[in-house]
A and B are shown apart, each in its own frame.
Chain A
Amino acid sequence: MQDREALDRYFTEQVVGEPVVVEMGPSAGVRLEPTRGLKLHLLEGQFELMGHAARGLVSPLQGDAGLGKPVSSLALARARRRLLVGGLLAILVLWSAALWWIFLRFAH
């Protein structure tokens, strides 16, 4: 029996095509018309960008950045750098705190 899902995937790839990257326009000067407040909408965008950046750190294939939602590669790279530096700082602080706690516990 044929695998229906595999067959569908094959035809989609063959007929509709393989993944493509398209340029939407300049990152600066994007106009938004949200249903909710603009601030909330922008925050949502920031969270989305951080999500893409985090997935990109975990996956060597850069996660699904830009899949179905246009992203700025510059902003994405900046978000990844921020996450990396923030993560390293957090690890350093936690490690220092753990060492300090051990020192206090066994010093007496």
Chain B
Amino acid sequence: MLDKTQDTLVIDPVKMNIVNRIAADTVLAGDFLFKGGLLLQGTLQGVGEIAGRLVVWHDARLIGRFRVLGDLYLLGQLGEATETDDEVDDQTEIECQGTAYVASTAVSTGTLIAAKLRMYDGAVLQGPFRTLRNAQSLPVLHGG
């Protein structure tokens, strides 16, 4: 039963074009390009781009440098686990061109860059957050 005092999110993979999934207990490392959204339930490590929405599920972990062209829903972990509460994972930087929704179960030790941030009580942002400026999010065309 859902608690009425909580904000709820409906994730409909078909309507939200989340066509990729990394299942729980799966670990992937490397360079990636996902066409369409991604439901991450395992661990994804490396460099890449997600051309759509990214859902980082509870217990899932995202490590490395990734660019998300849609919204980001963070329910799990961003960055490596650290030994102390004030330590930051310098290797993880996620750039989100949409809104980053950080749920109360989320923990981020990496750098989060997003156009907008919506963070719930209980979420841990151990790493820094930066606002993505419009100039950063739009591609620059060079004439010539």
A interface with B by C-beta (< 8 Å): 8-9, 11-13, 15-35, 41, 64-74
Q: Mark B83-102, 1 if CB is under 8 A from A, else 0.
A: 00000000000000000010
Residues of A within 8 A of B9 (CB): 21-24, 66, 68-70
11 extra interchain contacts, Cβ-Cβ under 8 A, other than A25-B7, A26-B121? A16-B13, A21-B2, A22-B75, A24-B101, A27-B6, A28-B121, A30-B119, A33-B118, A34-B116, A70-B9, A73-B2
Q: Which residue of A lies closest to B38 (CB)?
A: A16
Within 8 A of A (CB), among B15-67: 15-16, 18-21, 39, 53
Known A16-B39, A68-B71; judge A33-B13 contact (CB<8 A): no
Are A74 and B4 within 8 A (Cβ)? yes
Secondary structure class of chain A's binding surface, majority of residues: mixed
CA gap between A37 and B129 in the complex, in Å:
18
CA gap between A103 and B117 in the complex, in Å:
56
Secondary structure class of chain B's binding surface, majority of residues: loop
B interface with A by C-beta (< 8 Å): 2-16, 18-21, 39, 53, 71, 75, 101, 103-105, 114-123, 129, 131-134
Q: Which residue of A lies closest to B6 (CB)?
A: A23
Are B8 and A23 within 8 A (Cβ)? yes
CA gap between A17 and B24 in the complex, in Å:
13
CB-contact partner of B6 in A9, A25, A41, A67, under 8 A = A25
Known A32-B118, A33-B117; judge A66-B8 contact (CB<8 A): yes
Are A67 and B15 within 8 A (Cβ)? yes
Residues of B within 8 A of A69 (CB): 9
Q: Which residue of A lies closest to B117 (CB)?
A: A33
CB-contact partner of B8 in A9, A28, A70, under 8 A = A70
Residues of B within 8 A of A65 (CB): 10
CA gap between A11 and B15 in the complex, in Å:
13
Residues of A within 8 A of B2 (CB): 21, 23, 73
Are B101 and A32 within 8 A (Cβ)? no
Are A19 and B10 within 8 A (Cβ)? yes
Are B12 and A23 within 8 A (Cβ)? no
8 contacts between A and B (CB under 8 A): A13-B14, A22-B8, A22-B103, A23-B3, A23-B8, A26-B5, A29-B120, A74-B5
CB-contact partner of B7 in A16, A18, A34, A71, under 8 A = A71
